[in-house]
Structure 1
Amino acid sequence: MRARARSESKPQPGREYLSFRLGAEEYGIDILKVQEIRSYEAPTRIANAPGYLKGVINLRGVIVPIIDLRLRFGCDAEIGPITAVIVLAVKGRVIGTVVDAVSDVLQLPHESVKPPPSMGSVVDTRHLIGIATLAERMLILMDIESLMSSAELGMIDAVV
């Protein structure tokens, strides 16, 4: 019996991505990981939590941790009228991520996605799928499942 290819575990070029802004940069995540998009509401703080863990919200009876990706990536984190929370369903967990703005859903042709550049140990590209170019826009594609499983965030167990 042949082993199944593990391509399902990582988003592939040619799929749909939700684009959003963190600071001046535009990012994209696999739309299949997105449960919903909400306007920002102040979460309930958790004592002794890292600064990027804003707290928790009650989402229809489910307690959802809220991660501020802007703080985690070193961007300014002011709450504005278009600040949004992307609610993710990742490895059986529900997690909210605060972003500056949600842009749109994009179907990216395979040829528009290039692998992330090798930058040695200066920049950690483990959580990047690639970079897409669309006319004048560059979209940094994130492996959100890998990021949320990372030792830095530890929001979900690495092996589930």
Structure 2
Amino acid sequence: MKKVRSKYSNPDFQFIRFRLSGHEFGLDVSAVREIIKYRAPETGEYPPFTEGFIRIRSILVPVIDLRKRFSLPPSPLESSMIIISSVDSLIAGLIVDSISDITPGARDLTSKPAAEGSKWDHMVEAEVEFEDSRVLILNAELLLTPEEKAALSGPLTLKESDRLKAEMSLKKPGFV
């Protein structure tokens, strides 16, 4: 097992480590409901920043390709994974290349990684360094703009009763 070397204080959370086009990212496990193998989203009318919707236990979940979101080159999706995440009060699927592991990390609210001029700079809340890599921990609440969140709260997605049902059915994370 690799030793976590963090420039922050003691580990205070766990994160799912994933890859996108050679970059390593993480997402706090408290924002993750489950992980599923990639499946093509349903076609039809959907907001342009999504790839469409998938059904999980009869619930429509919008799917967002993080490669496109971060202006990274496209990749075959057949081997990709979808992280089902809670983004504020929304449930969304995030397409990633692969999942590495679940790892302990630490936050330090007084320090933030230096901006690199990338599309994800404003979404990074912490950095965890390993012997051979560094992982940028993304803030799930910043993955969508307020306008995008409002678009997904509209009639194309779940009614409030369905949203509550979805939250209840997705309470316990399950990893596939």
**TM-score with structure 1 length normalisation?**
0.75
Seen in structure 2, the aligned counterparts of structure 1 residues 123 and 58 have a Cα distance that, compared at 3 Å, is: closer
Choose from 143, 149, 155 the match for 1:155: 149
2-structure distance, mates of 1:16, 1:133: 14
**1:132 equivalent in alignment to 2:128:** yes
Seen in structure 2, the aligned counterparts of structure 1 residues 156 and 116 have a Cα distance that, compared at 3 Å, is: farther
The residue number in structure 2 matching 1:74 is 71
The residue number in structure 2 matching 1:63 is 60
Cα contact 1:91–1:156 (8 A) shared by 2: no
- Which structure has more helix as a fraction of its residues? 2
What code does the residue aligned with 2:81 have?
A: A
> Paired residues, what number?
139
What code does the residue aligned with 1:128 have?
A: V
The residue number in structure 2 matching 1:101 is 98
The residue number in structure 2 matching 1:33 is 31
Task: Output one character per residue of 1:17-49: Cα deviation in whole Å (capped at 9) or x when no partner.
Answer: 101011010000101110000000001123474
CA RMSD of aligned residues (A): 2.5
Choose from 95, 112, 135 the match for 1:115: 112
Cα contact 1:128–1:140 (8 A) shared by 2: yes
The residue number in structure 1 matching 2:158 is none
What code does the residue aligned with 1:88 have?
A: S
- Unaligned stretches of 5+ in structure 2? 1-9, 152-176
Seen in structure 2, the aligned counterparts of structure 1 residues 13 and 128 have a Cα distance that, compared at 3 Å, is: farther
For 1:71, what is the secondary structure of its paired residue? helix
For 1:136, what is the secondary structure of its paired residue? coil
Seen in structure 2, the aligned counterparts of structure 1 residues 80 and 47 have a Cα distance that, compared at 3 Å, is: closer
Task: Output one character per residue of 1:21-80: Cα deviation in whole Å (capped at 9) or x when no partner.
Answer: 110100001011100000000011234742x41100111011100000011111123234
Choose from 67, 81, 86 the match for 1:89: 86
The residue number in structure 2 matching 1:54 is 51
Q: CA deviation at 1:128?
A: 0.9
Cα contact 2:106–2:128 (8 A) shared by 1: no
Task: Output one character per residue of 1:80-134: Cα deviation in whole Å (capped at 9) or x when no partner.
Answer: 45310000123232100100011110102458xx522146xx4563211022111
- Which structure has more strand as a fraction of its residues? 1
Identity among equivalent positions (%) equals 25
